[in-house]
Amino acid sequence: MPQAQASINTGADLRGALPSRFKTARSTILFDRFMTRFIKIGGIGVIVAVAAIFFFIFAQILPLMSRAKVTLLETLSVAAGEYKALGIDEWAEKPFLVEKSGRITFYDLASKKIVYEFTPVDSLGSEVLAVKYDPLKQRFIYGTGDGNISIFQLHYDASYGENRRLITPRIEPLITAPVLKPEDPILVSDLASGDAGETMLVAGIFTAGEKTSVPVAIVTRESSLTGFSEPQFEKAIDLSPDIPGKPVRVLVNSNADGVLVATEEGSVHYFRVTPDVVRLRQSFRPFEDREDQRIGSLDYINGEVSVSVTNGKGLNRIFSLTIPPGEKRRIFVQTKEFESIGGAAGFFSASLRNKAFLTGHGSLVSLRYSTTETVRWEKRFPFDVKLGALSPRYDRILLLDSDRRLHFYDLEDPHPQAGWKAFFGKLWYEGYPEPAFIWQTTGSTDDFEPKLSIVPLVVGTLKGTWYALIFSLPIALLGALYTSQFSHTRLKLFIKPTMEIMASLPSVVLGFLAALWLAPLIETKVPSLLVVCILIPAGAMMFGAFWSQLPIRYRKWIKPGFEWLAIVPVLAVLGYWGWQLGPVIEKIFFVFQDPDTGIRTADFRLWWPQATGTPFNQRNSLVVGFMMGFAVIPIIFTIAEDALSNVPKTLVSGSLALGASRWQTAVRVVLPTAFPGIFSAIMIGLGRAIGETMIVVMATGNTPIMDFSIFSGMRTLSANIAVELPEAPYLGTLYRTLFLGAVILFVMTFVVNTVAEAVRQHFRAKYKTV
């Protein structure tokens, strides 16, 4: 014990006796402690920042998957009456009810009092038999006992006082069309109108005794710089001779060139109308495959390209105008089907902002979206709903119950066109002959149907990556193998820095060159390019085989590692011959024959669409493959060359000592040993290609299509974000959908990197004993 204590004292004495130059300064120790903590905090901060980024992105995406939210705001008791229509102004302040007698009553939601009443009897001069409200044009249509159809225009006047806005409704007559001259008392069962500016159509269903007629009045107006002249009634045409059965419902589109008539027997007849002639284009039975074929309701959806139809049991189907295969004209085709609402629709209200519509039967109210074939909101109330309406801004719902109470609801549904089905499902869009994956976010009219399928963008991303790797992988991997195993040391000192400089080239410069130089260059030289791509690899392999068979007395003329001096001139000659041979090949194999004149033309650009049915675009996948491959080659080359060069020299020397050639050693020893690193290089290059933006934006035409043709363009996820984001409204559906595209791009990259790491670890374990 005393001996141990002595040893401890001796150690302390020795430390105390150390020269000061060997002692660690206190400032260094403090700085080391500070940096240790700083690095830890920095690492935690990076993790927190990345997590916050993902939280923000997912917060932007989640609202896309939510359903509509409906909240009761207030209830208003209205006067007794037999109401036929319900509506509300754009500001959701002045709801109104239309009685069977034609009287219109406006209420103020703030004061819950009547603010305006309109009675058309004095203006019409005859009894009102039917009334209809057109929310699109804000017009009231009246059918009277004297055979006239009259239209009144609703206006809203805004005034300001006492720091508040006051909305005052005003109704004035627009036109009266004498569509019928009745000899007996008549009944009017339905009315409709359409206004295309210079031409208006007014239609109704009139019954006199046993005879039912469907007169359509044509009204014209002259346009000028100051507006339209007074409407002039031209003529009335009766459609009933072409309608088998008893008409019960009539619709007129807003272009004033189409009329739909539904019959009691379950048929729908579609007429095309011009100022000179009316033709029956189509007759169809919406529920011919069902036991109950009666038509309970027939209503236009916003845009008036599609109609919503229900039968007596409430089955809801959507029919849209399209040109099906084998037809040359647009006709109505069933595109969607919703679940039954339990009976014929008691009310219908189409949104003026999108393809949503409100319908229901009895106590059930359902908010549905036509494009995605989804129910946005549905509820069964403790009362029967007689009328329902959506506000023009798609932010309020009005319901009138059987006890004459008007229920006012707040509607929160900012993204009705979104959802899993919209992003990843095949939808049947208006005007298309079949369901398809389509990305198209803007149109020329307000009733445009947004198409938000992510699938074409994913396909475009994979397509661009595929063609880039086809071009880059052989060049990068074979170049890395040659540089690491066969080239001279002095040549390697030149090649590798050059490749690393290539990696620093801005992608926007490469995209600029691809769009303005490479694409026009190869547009007319595709056959030459194909011949060159065949001759150069084939010539290189043949020359290599020839060179390996030469006697050593000839091969010694070129030092090992400088064999490229012999092959480069050969490849240059083959490339020149191939380029010159292209036009000859084009004249023999790629001849386009005009189907009308029979003239034959040697042009690959015309031959390709005729032979394959796919388009030929100047900015296509071939251009992207070359230029994006040029951007990916340095990354794959550098990492693969490092992996090949780091193979232990003892393995290479041992293989050569056992009699293997340099090629055998490279293929059977070096490549398997370096494979984990090579695979990592490929996956990193793949990730670089997936995320490339500027080259794809500038060199592909940015067309979101689904085919893998090498001569057509594409649109990738990254390019789509760059193109669409400047036009995306903040927090709008497109804005959030672009964030969804970013997440999908991240997931694709994450999957690629995860697979790469798993495969790398597998091969690392496999070859660890080598």
The one-letter amino acid code at 648 reads P
CB neighbour burial string for 531-540, b if at least 16 within 10 angstroms, e if fewer: bbeebbeebe
pLDDT tens profile 696-729: 888 888 888 888 888 888 888 988 898 888 888 8
| Bridge-based pairing state of the strands 396-401 and 405-412 | antiparallel
For residue 8, what pLDDT is reported? 47
pLDDT tens profile 679-695: 888 888 888 888 888 88
Strand partners for 70: 411
Coil, strand, or helix at residue 353? Answer: coil
Question: Looking up tokens 């067309």, which residue turns up?
Answer: 703
For residue 398, what pLDDT is reported? 94
Sheet of 104-108: strand order equals: 83-87, 96-99, 104-108, 113-118
CA distance 295 to 267: 8
For residue 631, what pLDDT is reported? 87
Question: Are residues 514 and 523 in contact, defined by beta-carbon separation less than 8 angstroms?
Answer: no
The one-letter amino acid code at 352 reads L
CA distance 89 to 99: 18
For residue 653, what pLDDT is reported? 85
SS3 content of the chain, % helix, strand, coil (to 5): 40, 30, 30
pLDDT of 12 higher than 60: no
pLDDT tens profile 613-634: 888 888 888 888 888 888 899 8
| Residues whose CB falls within 8 Å of the CB of residue 211, separated by 6 or more in sequence, listed in order | none
CA distance 215 to 240: 8
Helices (H), 372-485: 420-424, 455-485
Helix (H) or strand (E) run with residue 622 in it: helix 621-645
Mean pLDDT, residues 577-599? 87
Question: Binning pLDDT at 50, 70 and 90, where does residue 1 land?
Answer: very low
Give the residue from 76, 67, 99 showing the smallest Cα distance to 86.
Answer: 99
Pick 769 or 495 by higher pLDDT.
495
pLDDT tens profile 642-656: 888 888 888 888 888
Least confident of 164-168, 388-392, 486-490: 486-490
Mean pLDDT, residues 210-227? 84
For residue 446, what pLDDT is reported? 60
Least confident of 72-76, 224-228, 394-398: 224-228
Question: Binning pLDDT at 50, 70 and 90, where does residue 16 land?
Answer: low
The one-letter amino acid code at 131 reads V
CA distance 179 to 196: 19
pLDDT of 770 higher than 80: no
Give the residue from 130, 101, 128 showing the smallest Cα distance to 117.
Answer: 101
pTM, two decimal places: 0.85
HSE, CB side, 13 Å, CA atoms: give it for residue 490.
4
CA distance 724 to 702: 11
Give the residue from 87, 181, 85 showing the smallest Cα distance to 142.
Answer: 85
CA distances from 6 to 3, 16, 18, 400 (A): 5, 15, 19, 102
pLDDT of 197 higher than 90: no
pLDDT tens profile 409-422: 999 999 999 989 99
Least confident of 293-307, 441-455, 501-515: 441-455
% residues pLDDT > 90 (the chain): 29
pLDDT of 350 higher than 70: yes
The one-letter amino acid code at 12 reads A
Question: Are residues 386 and 407 in contact, defined by beta-carbon separation less than 8 angstroms?
Answer: no
pLDDT tens profile 356-394: 999 999 999 999 999 999 999 999 999 999 999 999 999
DSSP string, 150-190: EEEEEEEEEEEETTEEEEEEEEEEEEEEE----SS--EEEE
Torsions phi, psi for 245 (to 5 deg):
110, 180
DSSP string, 49-111: HHHHHHHHHHHHHGGGGPPPEEEEEEEEE--S--EEEEE--TTS---EEEETTS-EEEEETTT
CA distance 153 to 159: 20
For residue 22, what pLDDT is reported? 65
| Bridge-based pairing state of the strands 405-412 and 439-440 | unpaired
Least confident of 167-176, 190-199, 577-586, 753-762: 753-762
pLDDT of 122 higher than 80: no
pLDDT tens profile 514-548: 888 888 888 888 889 889 888 888 888 888 888 87
* Burial zone of 512 (CB within 10 Å; 0-12 exposed, 13-18 middle, 19+ buried): middle
For residue 444, what pLDDT is reported? 62
pLDDT of 11 higher than 70: no
Torsions phi, psi for 300 (to 5 deg):
-80, 145
For 770, other C-beta atoms within 10 Å of its C-beta total 10
Give the residue from 470, 312, 292, 352 showing the smallest Cα distance to 87.
Answer: 352
pLDDT tens profile 244-299: 989 999 999 988 889 999 999 999 999 998 877 888 999 999 999 998 899 999 99
Question: Are residues 261 and 280 in contact, defined by beta-carbon separation less than 8 angstroms?
Answer: no
Question: Binning pLDDT at 50, 70 and 90, where does residue 320 land?
Answer: very high
For residue 307, what pLDDT is reported? 94
For residue 308, what pLDDT is reported? 94
Mean pLDDT, residues 466-477? 89
| Bridge-based pairing state of the strands 215-220 and 187-195 | unpaired
CA distance 109 to 95: 7
For residue 227, what pLDDT is reported? 73
For residue 20, what pLDDT is reported? 65
Q: Diameter of the chain by CA atoms?
A: 138
**DSSP one-letter code for 290:** S
For residue 768, what pLDDT is reported? 62
For 410, other C-beta atoms within 10 Å of its C-beta total 14
Question: Binning pLDDT at 50, 70 and 90, where does residue 21 land?
Answer: low
Listed ranges 41-45, 118-122, 125-129; the one with the highest mean pLDDT: 41-45
For residue 360, what pLDDT is reported? 93
Sheet of 148-161: strand order equals: 128-134, 139-144, 148-161, 164-178
Strand partners for 397: 390, 409
Mean pLDDT, residues 197-204? 88
**DSSP one-letter code for 669:** I
Question: Binning pLDDT at 50, 70 and 90, where does residue 445 land?
Answer: low
Question: Looking up tokens 């539904």, which residue turns up?
Answer: 262
Beta strands of 560-661 (E only): which ranges?
591-593, 600-602
Coil, strand, or helix at residue 272? Answer: strand
CA distance 96 to 116: 9
CA distance 324 to 332: 9
CA distance 49 to 4: 54
**DSSP one-letter code for 242:** G
pLDDT of 225 higher than 80: no
pLDDT of 769 higher than 60: no
CA 594, chain centre distance (Å) = 36
Question: Binning pLDDT at 50, 70 and 90, where does residue 112 land?
Answer: confident
